[in-house]
Each structure stands twice: as structure tokens, then as C-alpha cells.
Amino acid sequence: MAKNLPPVWNKIAKHAMMPETNHDERARYNFLASLNKHLAHVSQGNKMAYEKRVEPAFKAKNGRNIASVEELQEAISKDSHYQIWSSLRRSTMEMRQQAGRSIVLRQAEELRDKAEGFNKGKSTLVLDPNCKVPEYLLAVDNHLMPGSYHTELIEGDVTPAANYDSGIFVTTAGLLGRYNDGGGKAITSWVKKTYPDFAPKRILDIGCGMGHNVLPIARAFPNAEVIAIDTGAPMLRYAHARALDLGVTNVTFMQMDAAKTIFENESFDWVQSTMFFHETGGKSIYKIMNEVYRLLKPGGLTLHIEQPQYTNDMTLFEKFIRDWDALNNSEPYWSKMHDIEPIDLMQASGFRKEDFMQIGAKAENDLDDGTQKAEEPEDHGRSPIWNVFGAIKN
């Protein structure tokens, strides 16, 4: 039997907001998930090509080793394996966006109407037409998603979120679980296990997107008031409707910039973000962390799930290949963010060094039927293996 086949798309959980898909649309997602997985394996050839061809050729020509990521980039960009792998990978991501958008845009109005059915008159969805989309989000369409999180093609649009929800399965080859919430589940389990007496009354999730990672937290603390913020109205409309359909009623979704929220000082017991900071900007990241510090009660907990850190013992090649997605799958700030030590970021906002923590986390995947256990290369930028950093405010 072939090893580690991605699950078929139809395994993902259905809920009222999930776009309708026909046979061919599901098949297209299945093809793309498999193609992504295939390319993760072929990616090993890049390292081989680098070690066997690129590096020796550079050394022969220059009489020294490659000394920087920039030199490596320049040298490897002429290697034929790297070229074909890169162009296939880029093409796959573009096809994933095309496939998702072709599903959701044909039913944009139906999806909008469904969301409105859930959202109308509810106090738990608070949109703010004066909320400005931050410059860093306007500058790029993260992970090649045309129009990013905020663009509305019709009034009341929810298609950016519907595209994200239905298609993240392709990018991760199904490793985030049936509800794409493997990150939220992992952090919830860790918090419950590490702080069994922790009983947060008020929880804030920043950059919540379509709300997939905040729901496990809200479920785990049903008596807590949970607030999830994002600047993208389409994401919030979808997130709110999705949450209600899934029976989660203790989350209020609010349109707000995490760098300048309206909340009072020391008003939250837990401030969480999941895969958020690497899609912000060089100045905003500090402003947002300042805000996290301001909002936390003394003794409050903050945790941030992020891409793996770069470490000093990483080879140039590893740093380079980890940056591939940042630059070629359009998540550009990620290529800068790894130069910031999380501990420095947090200390700059007032957290104490001795209160800083950093742990590894792996998605909890309810789609895992035991057939995904074979040894696999890490799919850099895709594997749900993360760095979590945070602190308790004292």
C-alpha cells in the first residue's frame, strides 16, 4: 500500500457554511492535495542537488563555500531540479487558489445569504465599517489568495473565508483535521494539561480569520467570554455563522485591528494567536505585542502559535528552503519575522524574561486513522509542526 496518502477531501466536516461542491470540484482538491504531498517528497531533491551540484560548482568557481542565503539563492536558481520543483510548487498553489475560488465564487450569493441567515440581528457579530485594513495586509495577498481576507466582490461577501475553509485541506494535505482546527485543539490540550486550574473568564483570539482555531478554545472553556478579532469582514461573517452552526455560542466576533483594540487595560485572562504574526508587519508586530501586554490581566496567559523558528545550528540550505514559501507562496513577512527572537519581541512589550516560554506543538488531527504514521520529510512551511511562544504576565 502506498504510504501516507492524504485523506479524501470529502472527509472534512460539513457544516452549513461549507460551500457546496460537485464531484469534479472534490476530485480537483484530491488531485491538488496529492500533488502537494508528492512535491513535499520531491523537495528532498533540492537538498541533493544543492549538495551534489550547486555547492561543488560554486566552490570550484570561487575557491570558497557559499557564505550567505543570498549567494545560495543565486546559485541554486540555475539548478534544473530546483527550477522544476519550484515552478511545480508555485503552480500547485496557484491551482489550489483557482480551484477554491471557482467553487466559492459561483455560489457567492448563496453563501452570503446563508451567512446572513445566521448573523442577522445577532449581538455576537460586531462589524465596524470604519476599521481600516492594515497596510501590511493591503501590500500582499498572503499565500496567493487573490483579494486576501478583506476584499468583497459582492456586498456581504464571505467567499474569502469559504475559499480558505474548503481549501486549507489541500495545502496541508488534510493534516489539520476535519475542522481544520488542529492548531486550536493542540493549544487547548496543552493549556489544560499544563495549567489544570486555569479558569479564564475572558479570552481574546487575535487575527482569528474564519475562526477555526478559536472554537476548540471556546468549547474547552464554555463559561468564558471569548472574543475573536480580525480586520477582514468576510472572514468574520463566515466565522460567526460557522461557529453558530457548530453550536458554539460563547464567541463574539469583532472587526478590529489587533494593534489598536477598544478593550480596557488588563481585561483578559488569555490572549491567543494562531499563525497570525507571520502575516503582520515589522512595526505592527511590536504594536500588537504591546497591545497584548496592555490587555492581559496580571497573571494572565498569552500564547502564539507560529512557524518554526530559525536556529543558529540550521544550515544555510535549511534556512533557504524554509524561506521558499515566504517568498514564493507570498507570505513575505515570514522571511523577516524569523530574524526577531520571540523573547526580545515579548520583552520589548514589558513581559519579563523569566516569564517567557517556548514549546513545540503538533496539530491534533482527528482525520488520522493511523495510516499517516510513516516517516516523511518535513514539508517546510506546510507541516503542522509549530513553535509556540508566550508568557504569563507578572
Partner 1 sequence: MIDHIKLASSKSKGKRPYFHEDPAVERVLNITMAIAGELAVMRERMDTMERLLEKKGLVSQEEIDAYVPETKEEETQRQEWHSEYISRVLRIVQQEMEELENPDKSIADIANDIDKM
User: x/- string (CB under 8 A) for partner 1, residues 59-78?
Assistant: ------------------x-
83 is a site residue for partner 1 (CB under 8 A): yes
Task: Please list every residue from 272 through 311 that binds partner 1, using CB under 8 A.
Answer: none
Under rule CB under 8 A, residue 95 binds partner 1: yes
Q: Is 110 in the site for partner 1 (CB under 8 A)?
A: no
Q: Which cell goes with 58? A: 560554486
Please pick, from the candidates 92, 124, 180, 261, the single residue that binds partner 1 as defined by CB under 8 A.
Answer: 92
Report the C-alpha gap between 252 and 254 in whole angstroms. Answer: 6
Hey, what's the cell of 111?
A: 453563501
Residue 370: Cβ within 10 Å count: 5
Binding of residue 94 to partner 1 (CB under 8 A): yes
- The least distance separating partner 1 from the CB of residue 200, rounded to whole angstroms, comes to 37
87 scored as a contact of partner 1 (CB under 8 A): yes
Distance (Å, whole) CA 184 – CA 358? 17
By the rule CB under 8 A, 43 interacts with partner 1: no
Q: What minimum distance in Å lies between the beta carbon of 37 and partner 1?
A: 13
* CA–CA separation, 320 and 289 (whole Å): 27
| Residue number with CB closer to partner 1 (12 or 228) | 12
Stretch that binds partner 1, among 281-289, 303-311, 327-335, 341-349 (CB under 8 A): 327-335
Residue 318 touches partner 1, criterion: CB under 8 A? no
Smallest gap from Cβ 91 to partner 1, in A, equals: 5
* DSSP labels, 234-282: HHHHHHHHHHHHTT--SEEEEE--TTS--PPTT-EEEEEEES-GGGS-T
By CB under 8 A, the count of residues binding partner 1 is 41
The C-alpha cell at 296 is 492581559
Check binding of 23 to partner 1 (CB under 8 A): yes
User: In this chain, which stretch among 49-57, 94-102, 185-193, 288-296 interacts with partner 1, using CB under 8 A?
Assistant: 94-102
Distance, in Å, from the CA atom of 41 to the CA atom of 66, rounded to the nearest integer, reads 25
Side-chain half-sphere exposure of 345, counting CA atoms within 13 A: 25
The verdict on 10 binding partner 1 (CB under 8 A) reads: no
Give, as one character, the DSSP assignment of residue 219. H
**CA angle at residue 365 from 8 to 372, to 5 degrees?**
60
Cβ proximity to partner 1, 78 vs 373, nearer residue: 78
Q: Based on CB atoms, which residue is closest to partner 1, 24 or 341? A: 24
- DSSP for 46-74, please give it: HHHHIIIIIHHHHHHHHSS---SHHHHHH
Considering only 18, 42, 153, 348, the residue that binds partner 1 (CB under 8 A) is 153
**90 touches partner 1 (CB under 8 A):** yes
Of 68, 91, 315, 371, the one binding partner 1 (CB under 8 A) is 91
Q: Is the dihedral of CA 55, 56, 57, 63 positive or negative?
A: positive
Q: Which is nearer to partner 1, 16 or 138 (CB)?
A: 138
Asked if residues 388 and 361 have their Cβ atoms less than 8 Å apart, the reply is: yes
Q: Does 332 bind partner 1 (CB under 8 A)?
A: yes
Cell of 110: 448563496
Among 35, 203, 218, 239, binds partner 1 (CB under 8 A): 35
Cβ distance to partner 1 smaller for residue 31 or 190: 31
The cell numbers describing 164, all together, are 480558505
Alpha carbons within 13 angstroms on the beta-carbon side of residue 383 total: 18
d(CA 354, CA 226): 28
From residue 123, alpha-carbon distances to 200, 253, 324 in Å are 22, 9, 42
**Which residues form the interface with partner 1 (CB under 8 A)?**
23-24, 27-28, 30-32, 35, 77, 82-84, 86-88, 90-92, 94-95, 97-98, 101-102, 105-106, 108, 139-141, 144-148, 153-154, 327-328, 330, 332
